[in-house]
């Protein structure tokens, strides 16, 4: 079989020149920045970063809200031949200290309050510079580096995942990973120069960072926003006439549960979701709140950026589907021996192609577990990401999430996917969110516990129990259903399943 060639890409800092020089690129502060000003600012910041690190390949970290500096750092570090390490502003000192030490960051740019919080956690050899100093460089008259000539395979960024167990691990991303990810998303979302993207997600995540990169690839403008309430998001959409909004399920729940001015909602043309599945009831609420917007459910993992998206035309009839592969991604569903499954046969999602990252930073053991040779059926070959997620493919080649092998509940001799129990519970229309997990049980091996958050604070216990009895076989029935007003979440906004299960166990023990 002839292997597919990797599509051409460019150094990621060239995105600063993708738009018309006079067109708006960054809607921030009083005046914002045009693409010409963005390119100049990236060049000045790159020069300053080079002077403060002294060599190619050094890691530079930024830990801040969505400032001008945070937006320019992915391009400026790359232009200087450095490796950017964005740190989630929600993280605490011990987590940040681990990221700085693990990455070997030579420089950290942050504000004084965060620097004080870090305290003794600042690793030796990592200088700390105040955010305002670096911000001033961007708009100064200083020298500026010209666009880089980096090899597309050169390392450009290390993004630390915030898994629910263990310390964060750094995913190594090349210029090609970032460039082709930007090109892919801009193409399937059909972003055009006239669009305005409201960036509400953390820039330390691949999904959040891509809000910048895909918009700039298309020559469009980005409006970064740090919000406190859903009302802040609505006001920002109206103020910037935003056409595009990316979110995660918890944010969409907040937005549809609050009043949304019709004139603001009318600006939005596309809504994207990742970081967790949209439930059918939530999709219905989004349609009612944003009647003029297309909805793009998506599935991704940091190790390969993004894998699939569901075209808006399929959302109504296939709301539970993950969709199909995004451009530049090859998605295979494989058995344990690497052969391709039949339609409707569950298998592991394997991501092949040029969006696959370079592995985990300084962690050969975990890299070997997740990054393995592509199946023989792959058109690309090379290394692939074996996701650990079980999916199935229907006759129309649409994919559906089944669960993770390490999360399966073994009860009464059956393997039960928590996701299947959760999906049925949400389909009742009585709740917005659900988390299922197993606990040891002498008779069953494991009993199923279901934790839910009802709509509008209403707990229809009898109604949900009756619906589950009608919709699930006996071996999948929860032993206990607990209602909560709120559920714990990790720094990325995803439900923290480990914390939810631990909280339940603590309550039972008490």
Q: Locate 221 and state its tokens.
A: 């403008």
Strand partners of residue 481: 450
At 128 the three-state DSSP class reads strand
Instruction: Assign domain 10-172 to its CATH architecture.
Output: 3-Layer(aba) Sandwich (3.40)
Give the count of beta carbons closer than 10 Å to the beta carbon of residue 147: 19
Q: Looking at residue 411, what is its pLDDT?
A: 82
The C-alpha torsion from 372 through 374 and 380 to 382, rounded to 10°, is 40
- Dihedral of CA atoms 270, 274, 277, 282 in degrees, nearest 10, equals -40
pLDDT for position 231: 94
In the numeric block, the tokens 């451009």 are attached to 327
**pLDDT of res. 270:** 98
Sequence ranges of the chain with CATH classification 3.30.300.30 = 408-509
> Which residues lie below 8 Å from residue 379, measured CB to CB, with a gap of 6+?
1, 3, 4, 330, 352
Q: What is the pLDDT of residue 161?
A: 82
Residue 348, strand partner residues: 334, 390
8 Å CB contact between 80 and 149: no
pLDDT in the model for residue 2 = 60
Whole-angstrom Cα Rg for the chain: 23
Q: Tell me how far apart the alpha carbons of residues 249 and 495 are, in angstroms, rounded to a whole number.
A: 9
Note whether 426 and 436 are within 8 A (CB): no
Sign (positive or negative) of CA dihedral 313, 334, 155, 62:
positive
The pLDDT, as a whole number, for residue 413 is 64
CB neighbours of residue 370 within 10 Å: 21
What is the Cβ-side half-sphere exposure of residue 220, based on CA atoms within 13 angstroms? 31
Which among 312, 84, 309 has a CA at the least distance from the CA of 178? 84
Contact by Cβ (8 Å): 123, 103: no
State CA 8 to chain mean position distance: 24
Low-confidence ranges of the chain (pLDDT < 50): 1, 163-165
- Name the pTM for this structure: 0.84
pLDDT at 473: 75
pLDDT in tens, 230-283: 999 999 999 999 999 999 887 898 899 888 989 999 999 999 999 778 888 899
Rounded Cα distance, 301 and 16, in Å: 26
Alpha-carbon distance 35 to 37, whole Å? Answer: 5
Report the Cα 246 to chain-centroid distance in Å. 10
Q: Where in the chain is the domain with CATH 3.40.50.12780?
A: 10-172, 227-404
CATH superfamily of 227-404: ANL, N-terminal domain (3.40.50.12780)
Owner of token pair 């700039």: 216
DSSP 146: P
Six-digit token string for 460:
């229809």
In CATH, the number for domain 408-509 is 3.30.300.30
Residue 408 confidence (pLDDT) = 73
């Amino acid at each position: 079989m002839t292997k597919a060639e990797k599509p051409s890409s460019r150094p990621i800092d060239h995105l600063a020149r993708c738009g018309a020089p006079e067109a708006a690129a960054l809607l921030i502060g009083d005046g914002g920045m045009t693409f010409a000003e963005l390119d100049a600012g990236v060049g000045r910041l790159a020069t300053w970063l080079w002077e403060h690190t002294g060599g190619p390949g050094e890691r530079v970290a930024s830990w801040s809200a969505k400032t001008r500096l945070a937006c320019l750092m992915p391009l400026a570090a790359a232009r200087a031949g450095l490796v950017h390490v964005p740190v989630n502003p929600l993280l605490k000192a011990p987590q940040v200290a681990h990221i700085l030490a693990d990455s070997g960051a030579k420089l950290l740019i942050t504000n004084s309050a965060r620097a004080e919080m870090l305290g003794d956690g600042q690793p030796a050899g990592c200088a700390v510079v105040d955010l305002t100093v670096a911000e001033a460089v961007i708009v100064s008259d200083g020298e500026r580096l010209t666009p880089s000539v980096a090899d597309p395979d050169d390392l450009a960024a290390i993004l630390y995942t915030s898994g629910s167990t263990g310390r964060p691990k750094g995913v190594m991303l090349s210029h090609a990973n970032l460039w082709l990810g930007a090109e892919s998303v801009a193409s399937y979302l059909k972003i055009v120069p006239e669009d305005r993207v409201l960036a509400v997600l953390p820039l330390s995540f691949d999904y959040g960072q891509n809000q910048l990169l895909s918009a700039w690839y298309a020559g469009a403008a980005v409006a970064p926003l740090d919000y406190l309430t859903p009302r802040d998001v609505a006001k920002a959409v109206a103020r910037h006439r935003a056409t595009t909004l990316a979110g995660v399920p918890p944010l969409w729940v907040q937005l549809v549960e609050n009043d949304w001015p019709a004139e603001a909602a009318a600006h939005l043309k596309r809504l994207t979701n990742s970081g967790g599945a949209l439930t059918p009831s939530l999709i219905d609420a989004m349609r009612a709140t944003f009647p003029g917007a297309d909805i793009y459910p998506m599935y991704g993992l940091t190790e390969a950026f993004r894998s699939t998206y569901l075209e808006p035309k399929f959302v109504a009839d296939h709301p539970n589907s993950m969709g199909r592969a995004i451009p530049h991604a090859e998605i295979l569903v494989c058995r344990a021996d690497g052969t391709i499954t039949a339609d409707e046969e569950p298998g592991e999602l394997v991501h092949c192609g040029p969006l696959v990252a370079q592995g985990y930073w300084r962690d050969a053991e975990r890299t070997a577990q997740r990054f393995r040779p592509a199946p023989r059926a792959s058109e690309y070959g090379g290394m692939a990401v074996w996701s650990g997620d079980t999916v199935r493919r229907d006759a129309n080649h649409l994919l559906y999430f089944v669960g993770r092998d390490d999360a399966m509940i073994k009860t009464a001799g059956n393997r039960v996917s928590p996701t299947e129990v959760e999906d049925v519970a949400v389909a009742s229309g009585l709740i917005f969110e659900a988390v299922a997990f197993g606990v040891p049980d002498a008779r069953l091996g494991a009993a199923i516990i279901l934790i839910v958050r009802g709509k509008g604070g209403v707990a229809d216990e009898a109604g949900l129990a009756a619906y589950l009895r009608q919709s699930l076989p006996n071996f999948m029935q929860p032993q206990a259903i607990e209602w909560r007003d709120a559920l714990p979440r990790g720094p990325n906004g995803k439900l923290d399943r480990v914390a939810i299960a631990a909280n339940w166990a603590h309550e039972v023990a008490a």
